[in-house]
């Protein structure tokens, strides 16, 4: 348990960690491609290191450089069968996307993860990949890690999403690009499209028609260089933090602005928050600098398709309900319950500890502006990096004898979070 000194305001310039989603996909996709490519400025966290270790286990070479890695591979066609179990640790992205990467290769793999990851659903990728002809054996009636991928040959299919998940979509596309014929996947709503962007850049014949994505298989992927922008999901904590702390002003540099990731900016606009984006640049993956100041703002209702574009930022936005002039309501976000923790339950637990008035729904929550604070609240991280970072900010905002039980899990996405935040404190 750790207490934090109350912080009055935060000011300065922040360069957030590199994008976790793009780092994962860069390591996987350059491993699937033939030749040598570079990943420049990737995130090196517990999650992305798990992906790198998995690709090394199938024979891909990673050579560390000053600002990233040179990846050398003979392509997915020549992956070696790993001699040991592949540990995805706490990374759902690793577990689900690697299932799609490995399923068509006609080799034997076993994937596992840590205690938290072994509780999270894998059937959302197992079932559609099974429709493609992949063969699996998994715990808990075929739904949980450890997962065995059995040698098999996959076939092209047309699939319709059963959940709004970029991980499921990516698993299907990564299997489809290896499978002779055309595989088509129709989403329920637009989700983050980093996989589609990168597959196209590697030479895959991929088309997008609204919610329908088609990829031609048996592709000859050729390696490229990838520059990883700053992670919008990490920037979200500082966007929220500026609104939590009075008299605050931040510039967030080099933040990825892919519209399938930055839904929180639209919601902040809906809440009446003013911010500026400077020096917008980049190609398929846009990036820029976000300037924001503390200010009065309203609550809002978040529902519908935008939820899929800001699923990781929803706990931060819900927390802003404490400081808004009216409640924040989130619905249609049941996916939060199967993240690293049940993020609906975890968010509301901590807010209740602080004395907030909240309402819990099966698919969301409602948070009212806080009237009085319990300065002896005992906040929990729930072994979830995003919950930990929010809890730390709340403890610093309110001070007193508020404690946070664990901070080690921030290493999953933002190993230097506490040091970065402290550098801004006034």
* Rg, Å, the chain Cα set: 21
Cα distance between residue 126 and residue 111, in whole Å: 12
380 is in an annotated binding site: no
**Residue among 145, 85, 137 at smallest CA distance from 114:** 145
Say what angle helices 92-102 and 166-176 make with each other, to 10 degrees. Answer: 20
304 is in an annotated binding site: no
Cα distance between residue 256 and residue 239, in whole Å: 14
Cα distance between residue 25 and residue 22, in whole Å: 5
Cα distance between residue 405 and residue 174, in whole Å: 38
214 is in an annotated binding site: no
Residue 103 half-sphere exposure toward CB, CA atoms < 13 A:
32
167 is in an annotated binding site: yes
343 is in an annotated binding site: yes
Say what angle helices 385-398 and 232-244 make with each other, to 10 degrees. Answer: 20
Neighbours of 424 (CB within 10 A): 20
The β-bridge relationship of strands 301-302 and 287-293 is: unpaired
The single-letter DSSP state of residue 425 is B
Say what angle helices 46-57 and 20-32 make with each other, to 10 degrees. Answer: 10
Q: Given the residues 289, 312, 383, 384, select the one marked as catalytic.
A: 312
Contact 352, 378 (CB under 8 A): no
Helix (H) or strand (E) holding 135: strand 135-138
25 is in an annotated binding site: yes
Buried b (16+ CB within 10 A) or exposed e, 348-368: bbbbebbebebeeeeebbbbb
CA dihedral sign of residues 268, 257, 116, 374? negative
20 is in an annotated binding site: yes
The single-letter DSSP state of residue 283 is S
**Helix, strand, or coil here: 205?**
coil
Contact 90, 140 (CB under 8 A): no
Tell me if residue 303 is catalytic: no
CA angle 367, 190, 228 (to 5 degrees): 90
386 is in an annotated binding site: yes
Residue 222 half-sphere exposure toward CB, CA atoms < 13 A:
3
**From the annotation, which residues make up the binding site for 3-phosphoshikimate?**
20-21, 25, 165, 167, 312, 339
**Residues with a known catalytic role:** 312
**From the annotation, which residues make up the binding site?**
20-21, 25, 92, 120, 165, 167, 312, 339, 343, 386
**From the annotation, which residues make up the binding site for phosphoenolpyruvate?**
20, 92, 120, 167, 343, 386
């Amino acid at each position: 348990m750790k207490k934090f000194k109350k912080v009055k305001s935060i000011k300065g310039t922040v360069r957030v960690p590199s994008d976790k989603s793009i780092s994962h996909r860069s390591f996987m996709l350059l491993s699937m491609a033939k030749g040598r490519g570079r990943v420049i400025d990737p995130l090196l966290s517990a999650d992305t290191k798990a992906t790198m270790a998995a690709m090394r286990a199938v024979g891909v070479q990673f050579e560390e450089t000053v600002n990233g890695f040179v990846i050398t591979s003979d392509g997915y066609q020549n992956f070696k069968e790993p001699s040991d179990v592949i540990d995805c640790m706490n990374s759902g992205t690793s577990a689900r996307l690697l299932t799609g990467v490995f399923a068509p290769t006609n080799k034997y793999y076993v994937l596992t993860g840590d205690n938290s990851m072994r509780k999270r659903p894998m059937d959302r990728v197992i079932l559609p990949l099974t429709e493609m002809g992949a063969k699996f054996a998994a715990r808990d009636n075929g739904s949980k890690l450890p997962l065995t991928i059995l040698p098999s040959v996959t076939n092209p299919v047309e699939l319709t999403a059963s959940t709004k998940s970029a991980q499921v979509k990516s698993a299907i596309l990564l299997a489809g690009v290896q499978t002779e014929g055309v595989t088509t996947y129709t989403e329920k709503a637009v989700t983050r499209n980093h996989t589609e962007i990168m597959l196209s850049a590697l030479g895959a014949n991929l088309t997008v028609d609204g919610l329908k994505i088609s990829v031609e298989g048996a592709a000859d992927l050729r390696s490229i260089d990838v520059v990883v922008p700053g992670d919008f999901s990490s920037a979200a904590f500082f966007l929220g933090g500026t609104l939590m702390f009075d008299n605050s002003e931040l510039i967030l540099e080099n933040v990825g602005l892919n519209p399938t990731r930055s839904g929180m900016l639209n919601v902040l606009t809906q809440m009446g928050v003013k911010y500026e984006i400077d020096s917008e640049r980049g190609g398929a993956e846009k990036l820029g600098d976000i300037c924001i100041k503390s200010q009065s703002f309203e609550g809002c209702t978040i529902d519908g398709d935008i939820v899929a574009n800001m699923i990781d930022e929803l706990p931060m936005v819900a927390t802003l309900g404490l400081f808004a002039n009216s409640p924040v309501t989130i619905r249609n976000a049941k996916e939060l319950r199967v993240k690293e923790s049940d993020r609906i339950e975890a968010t509301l637990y901590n807010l209740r500890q602080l004395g907030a008035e909240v309402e819990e729904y099966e698919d969301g929550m409602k948070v009212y502006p806080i009237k009085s604070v319990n300065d002896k609240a005992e906040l929990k991280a729930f072994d979830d990096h995003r919950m930990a970072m929010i809890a730390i900010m709340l403890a610093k905002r309110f001070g007193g004898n508020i404690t946070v039980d664990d901070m080690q899990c921030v290493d999953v996405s933002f190993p230097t979070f506490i040091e970065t935040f402290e550098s801004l404190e006034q």
